[in-house]
Amino acid sequence: MTNESEAAHVQECRDWQAVLAANSWAGIAWPKECHGRGATIGQARIFAQEESHFEVSSGVFMVATGMVGPTIIAHGTQAQKDYFLPRMLNGEHIWCQLFSEPGAGSDLAGLATCAVRDGDQFIVNGQKVWTSGAHFSDWAMLLVRTDSDVPKHRGITYILVDMRSPGITVRPLRQITGHAHFNEVFLTDVSIPVANVLGEINGGWGVAQTTLGNERSMIGGGGSGIGFKSLLHLARTSGCANDPIVRQELARSYTRFELLGWLSHRARARSKLGLPPGPEASVMKLAVSERVAADGDLALAIEGANGMLTSTDAPQDGMFQQMFLNQWSVRIGGGTEQIQRNVLGERVLGLPSEPRPDKTLPFKDLPHN
């Protein structure tokens, strides 16, 4: 995607999101007092299914409506709800997530970006990395360290920052697909009002869990990867649909596809009960990760030598190559496969937790790179 085509896509998303809001189809399952339509999750899903039949997208608002919005609904003050929720629903504010740092990805609680209070402002210094869409975002959810004298999970604050604040520098990172989807973000003496803290000062870890749970559900429920019908079509048009090995792999792919459908029914049943995303979000994310990896391998195996081509030289303009390369986004973003397994081992199977000697020591006494 070129800079121009990305800018056009962002504008199309803003325009479509504005149309949705103007007709009360944005925030369908959010409560009315949170500026939503007050309908059910099931009704929101029906709308999404119908919407998918049209060439429209509000994709750049996924972080806003899928992650920040639910977090503000769960932890925000009424003033925060009234300011931020309508503006993300109407296409005005695109959001990004300033969580990961060069030294804090899987170990997110080890983050070092620090905020020092100065009257009614926090002054923030540090660096974030892998920030999807930071280059076109208006606002960000930011995790900062506000107390280094307590164990690492207890000194974190969740704060909302205007991406146009002085002192924020965004630098793009080019990834394996050739696109620059994410960025490094440098924060130098950035002043953020204390009123923008979401939840309690030093209580940000709990607030972040709401965001991360919603992120896992969103990635797991997003149906990422190659649709089964596309793979079948590829096998037929490549003349290998009768190959016994390919048939066996296609059957496995179909099984994965069906299992994911049932897993997502289970996740939806939980949200219908009004429960927040639980460990089944990790099951879903892991299942989607395994699927994109296996289906990516299968697609390129079916293409044979053509699998080595790219872009317009490759079959279907390199669609399968892009999907193959994109698998690592799904497998790493929102928590790696290994981390999802840790979550499942500890929270679902009740296995002994990993040794974590750093859980009780003050953050300032931990060894740092």
Ligand X SMILES: Cc1cc2nc3c(=O)[nH]c(=O)nc-3n(C[C@H](O)[C@H](O)[C@H](O)COP(=O)(O)OP(=O)(O)OC[C@H]3O[C@@H](n4cnc5c(N)ncnc54)[C@H](O)[C@@H]3O)c2cc1C
* Cβ contacts of 124 within 8 Å, gap of 6 or more: 113, 114, 115, 142, 144, 159, 161, 167, 187, 189, 190, 191, 192
- Which of the stretches 74-82, 200-208, 336-344, 357-365 binds ligand X when contact is defined by CB under 6 A? 336-344
Instruction: State how far the Cα of 294 lies from the Cα of 243, in Å rounded to an integer.
Output: 18
Which residues within the stretch 102-141 sit at the binding site for ligand X (CB under 6 A)? 105-106, 130-132
Among 147, 281, 333, 363, which residue interacts with ligand X (rule: CB under 6 A)? 333
Nearer to ligand X, 107 or 317 (CB): 107
CB of 134 to ligand X, least distance (A): 7
Plot region of 272 (φ>0 → left; ψ -120 to 50 → alpha; else → beta):
alpha
- Which of the stretches 75-83, 258-266, 295-303, 328-336 binds ligand X when contact is defined by CB under 6 A? 328-336
Nearer to ligand X, 17 or 211 (CB): 211
Nearer to ligand X, 159 or 250 (CB): 159
- Which of the stretches 95-103, 225-233, 269-277, 300-308 binds ligand X when contact is defined by CB under 6 A? 95-103
* 336 sits near ligand X (criterion: CB under 6 A): yes
Q: Residue for token digits 């944005």? A: 26
* 182 sits near ligand X (criterion: CB under 6 A): yes
Instruction: State how far the Cα of 369 lies from the Cα of 365, in Å rounded to an integer.
Output: 13
Helices 244-272 & 41-51 angle (0-180, nearest 10): 140
Q: Does the active-site annotation cover 33?
A: no
Which residues within the stretch 343-362 sit at the binding site for ligand X (CB under 6 A)? 354
Contact 137, 122 (CB under 8 A): no
Nearer to ligand X, 28 or 100 (CB): 100
Among 69, 277, 296, 335, which residue interacts with ligand X (rule: CB under 6 A)? 335
Contact 125, 114 (CB under 8 A): yes
Q: Residue for token digits 């998918």? A: 52
Neighbours of 146 (CB within 10 A): 21
Contact 302, 240 (CB under 8 A): yes
Instruction: State how far the Cα of 365 lies from the Cα of 346, in Å rounded to an integer.
Output: 27
Contact 291, 323 (CB under 8 A): no
Among 100, 146, 177, 196, which residue interacts with ligand X (rule: CB under 6 A)? 100
Nearer to ligand X, 96 or 323 (CB): 96
Instruction: State how far the Cα of 324 lies from the Cα of 225, in Å rounded to an integer.
Output: 8
Q: Which of 148, 150, 304 is nearest to 239 (CA)?
A: 304
What x/- string results for residues 291 through 320 when contact with ligand X is judged by CB under 6 A? ------------------------------
Contact 66, 22 (CB under 8 A): no
Catalytic residue among 6, 92, 200, 215: 215
* 342 sits near ligand X (criterion: CB under 6 A): yes
Tell me which residue has its CB nearest to ligand X.
105
* Residues annotated as catalytic (active site), given as ranges: 215
Residues that bind ligand X (CB under 6 A): 96-97, 99-100, 105-106, 130-132, 182, 329, 332-333, 335-336, 338-339, 342, 354
